[in-house]
């Protein structure tokens, strides 16, 4: 096994177990507000600390980028571990059992190893670049839908960037006509993992951060999906405006929303 995948798996399992234990003991969870509709708990921070400790033990020189601690520059800038210790904090707080731990390892800006772990279902999604995607060790492939007819799309509402609300609702309205249905479950990392597993036919969301999508992105790609911004380009690495699915679904999705894109969403 790829040595970094081994460490990444150890780290997400440690963090996931910690999250699951606290889910059983809600009195041990303390919530703080970071911004409007934006919460963090002691469990996010504890999970993050546990992950950093495991990585540091094996790779003391690597750079680590996390949601709650920001960038911890190591001597080696070329290798970055990009971490979301708890993706779906709002679900965790509400005791809606759907959240994950995400780790992507990037070497010179290219993701080589990715892990997304759902501790409530004990589902471990993983990928090594060029070697396919797996769920609990079994190979997974994305949906082979031919277009949006009968498709189920995952999405996330732009809860923070309210300036995109109108454009987003217009896109939903357009897609609602050909699609069968939508799923909005609150963990971007799992949405991308579910694209990889063919549990949804496609996915789109506005304004993600690198730790939300870098892990799921490689897993989806290695399962045969493509990932792009809302114009079919690579702008999502900066904007976080992301579309994923097999090439036919992404093409049909982009064609459907094209007329609703504002300039800000063309990045």
Give the gyration radius of the chain's Cα atoms. Answer: 18
Residue that is written with structure tokens 């506005």 in the block: 206
Least distance in angstroms from the C-beta of 48 to ligand 2AM: 11
Distance CA 28, CA 42 (A): 9
- Work out which of 156, 215, 224, 245 binds ligand 2AM, going by CB under 6 A: 156
Distance CA 120, CA 97 (A): 7
Distance CA 180, CA 48 (A): 37
User: Which range in 9-17, 73-81, 82-90, 196-204 contacts ligand 2AM by CB under 6 A?
Assistant: 82-90
201 is in an annotated binding site: no
Told to check if 159 binds ligand 2AM by CB under 6 A, we report yes
Residue that is written with structure tokens 């504002």 in the block: 262
Which positions ≥6 away from 67 have C-beta within 8 Å?
Answer: 44, 48, 83, 84, 85, 209, 211
- Work out which of 212, 217, 222, 229 binds ligand 2AM, going by CB under 6 A: 212
Least distance in angstroms from the C-beta of 44 to Ca ion: 6
Chain-centre distance for alpha carbon 209: 9
78 is in an annotated binding site: no
86 is in an annotated binding site: yes
Told to check if 217 binds ligand 2AM by CB under 6 A, we report no
**Residues that bind Ca ion in the complex, under the rule CB under 5 A:** 67, 84, 86-87, 89, 212
**Residues that bind ligand 2AM in the complex, under the rule CB under 6 A:** 37-38, 67, 84, 87-90, 156, 159, 186-188, 205, 208, 212
């Amino acid at each position: 096994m790829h040595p970094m995948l081994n460490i990444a798996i150890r780290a997400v399992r440690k963090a996931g177990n910690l999250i699951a234990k606290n889910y059983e003991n809600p009195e041990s969870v303390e919530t703080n507000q970071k911004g409007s509709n934006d919460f963090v708990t002691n469990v996010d921070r504890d999970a993050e600390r546990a992950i950093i400790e495991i990585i540091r033990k094996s790779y003391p020189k690597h750079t680590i980028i996390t949601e709650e601690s920001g960038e911890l520059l190591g001597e080696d800038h070329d290798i970055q571990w990009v971490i979301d210790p708890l993706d779906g904090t709002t679900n965790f707080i509400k005791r809606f059992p759907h959240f994950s731990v995400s780790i992507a390892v990037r070497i010179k800006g290219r993701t080589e190893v990715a892990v997304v772990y759902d501790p409530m279902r004990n589902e471990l999604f993983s990928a090594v670049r060029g070697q396919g995607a797996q769920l609990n060790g079994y190979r997974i492939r994305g949906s082979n839908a031919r277009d949006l007819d009968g498709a189920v799309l995952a999405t996330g509402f732009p809860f923070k960037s309210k300036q995109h609300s109108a454009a987003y609702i217009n896109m939903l309205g357009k897609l609602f006509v050909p699609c069968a249905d939508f799923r909005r479950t609150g963990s971007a990392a799992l949405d991308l993992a579910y694209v990889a597993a063919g549990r949804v036919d496609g996915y789109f969301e506005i304004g993600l951060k690198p730790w939300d999508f870098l892990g799921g992105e490689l897993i989806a790609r290695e399962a045969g999906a493509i990932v792009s911004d809302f114009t079919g380009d690579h702008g999502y690495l900066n904007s976080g405006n992301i579309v994923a699915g097999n090439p036919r679904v992404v093409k049909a999705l982009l064609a459907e929303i094209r007329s609703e894109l504002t300039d800000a969403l063309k990045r």
